[in-house]
Amino acid sequence: MNTAATRGDEDPRVTRTREEVHGTVLRLLAADGPAAVTHARVVEESSVSRATLYRHWPDRTSLLVDAIAAVRPDFDLGEPTGDLRADLRDFLRAGAKALTETQAMPWLLALSLRAADDPEFRVVLERIAEIHDTPLGPLYRRGIADGTIRADLDLAIFQAMCFGTMFSLRFVWQQDLTDDLVETVVETILAGIEVAPD
């Protein structure tokens, strides 16, 4: 079952099956962590048959990717406008909303912790990132190309500065991600990444 597929004309039975599997996977993740997500446990705790489960989700990676992708926040803000400050502000506001509202964050955190030691879970995180790319890549590439972002700035560092800052403020320091705080973060990041005027 492909999360990227258009589902407007999907058979309601398929929709119910997918939603039940997603719900079961997410409950297992929340209760017992990523290692608890197995085909046997999903079959045991849902009404989905083993044959159906394996036909649509042949391995644990596909179970985890599909369930988390279904509840992961959408960062589709379109192409960068060329105004680095405005584009960064739009992304960080969307990120603040996602960090405040999304139900996927605890599961992504659990996977991240396990991914450090388990290549299977690292693959899950990579596949989720491929499905849901953020606007930071295009924003970074445009900024490098037009000379507004320092050429020596690595994409991973740029992403960590942007999303990592918001994540830390929300979950480590328990800050409310207000528009004023987002504005402060934007200005702080820009101070570190923009090309200094001649």
Q: How far apart are CA 36 and CA 28, in angstroms?
A: 6
- H or E element that contains 25: helix 12-32
Q: How far apart are CA 140 and CA 126, in angstroms?
A: 19
Structure tokens at 178: 């207000």
Question: How many whole angstroms from its chain centre is CA 110?
Answer: 13
Compute how many other C-beta atoms are within 10 angstroms of the C-beta atom of residue 31.
Answer: 9
Q: How far apart are CA 167 and CA 173, in angstroms?
A: 9
Q: How far apart are CA 53 and CA 51, in angstroms?
A: 5
pLDDT tens for the chain, 198 residues long, are: 444 444 567 889 999 999 999 999 999 988 888 899 999 999 999 999 999 999 999 999 999 999 988 887 766 677 788 899 999 999 999 889 888 877 777 777 778 888 889 998 899 988 887 776 677 888 999 999 999 999 999 998 999 999 889 989 988 899 999 999 999 999 999 999 998 876
Q: How far apart are CA 2 and CA 70, in angstroms?
A: 10
Dihedral, CA of residue 105, residue 24, residue 2 and residue 77, to nearest 10: -20
3-class secondary-structure state, position 48:
coil
3-class secondary-structure state, position 77:
coil
